[in-house]
Chains A and B, each alone.
Chain A
């Protein structure tokens, strides 16, 4: 078994190794630590709270099931988002659609007549629309970079491409977003 020193120093990798060895009590700690990042990653991609929760739970189930075969070859974030991205792509294929629905403001906030709030809401809708105008690979790459604060190398590993490919996607995504935001904001 190959266990890199980088991976070994990751506390979540340590928890996963304990789970692999049969210590199921650490599973809750992993869930508590990663449920927020996962749900928000899925939420920005799918714009559906229910689907986001479903998929986040699915990630943890996959994690639990695959624990006996786990090998600490990478940081835990790389491992968990690799699973998450596969599930996301499966979900896109399942629904046979690109997620282009506009955000439902009711999902996030109570209704209000406050003007400044409405402006904020409009900006948020513009951001969401711009994000969902991106192809899946560019959107995932920029979400992992900006939302999850992962490195280019980690994103490359998650998305199974080279680092330069990730940089190209990010660059193209930012060019698109600049244009989209210029038109809408």
Chain B
């Protein structure tokens, strides 16, 4: 063994003293936490089912966190890959749907042409009675006292 200088020996002695110290103490909940772990292990066969994740929850948590982040990253990459070609496809589908929906809601030219006749037919059927009233009223002899009419039905008699 080589002989060392007194300074170095002094440092090494100080180091040995430092090494002999016990700088940290267990936390106040050490025994309680240990007891809880043992209670859990008495219920579960840790070696076969759970392993170190129960024995060392903090490390187990770190491992699970790491796994979850890796899983999320894989999902994000897969999503981005799909998104790159799925987005234009989805946009095209939406535009096509909007176009067909617009086409469906536009008025039918054939129906639009037929509409005036229908309206005339409806009006004529509804106001047939009214038209006959006006026709009768037009033939009224001058000097007739309309105020004496008791109703529309009396117009025919009134003209006579």
Chain A positions within 8 Å of B, measured between CB atoms, are 28, 31-32, 35-37, 39-40, 43-44, 49-58, 60-61, 64-65, 94, 107-108, 123-124, 127, 130-131, 142-143, 146-147, 149, 171, 174-175, 177-178, 181-182, 185
Contacts and interface: CB of A to CB of B under 8 A. Distances in A.
Interface of B: 1-2, 4-5, 7-8, 11-12, 14-16, 18-27, 30-31, 33-34, 37-38, 41, 52, 55-59
Nearest to A128: B18
B19 A36 contact: no
Contacts of A146: 16, 19-20
A54 B12 contact: no
B5 to A, nearest CB: 8
B25 A181 contact: no
Contacts of B15: 127, 130, 177, 181
Contacts of A142: 19
Contacts of B59: 51, 54, 94
B127 to A, nearest CB: 95
Nearest to B22: A40
Contacts of B1: 171
Contact of A39 (B7, B24, B31, B33): B24
A53 B26 contact: yes
A85 B58 CA distance: 20
Contact of A58 (B7, B31, B55): B55
A149 B15 CA distance: 15
Contact of B20 (A50, A58, A147, A182): A147
A181 B14 CA distance: 10
Q: Which 5 A-B pairs have the closest CB atoms?
A: A181-B11, A146-B19, A40-B22, A35-B26, A54-B56
Contacts of B12: 174, 177-178, 181
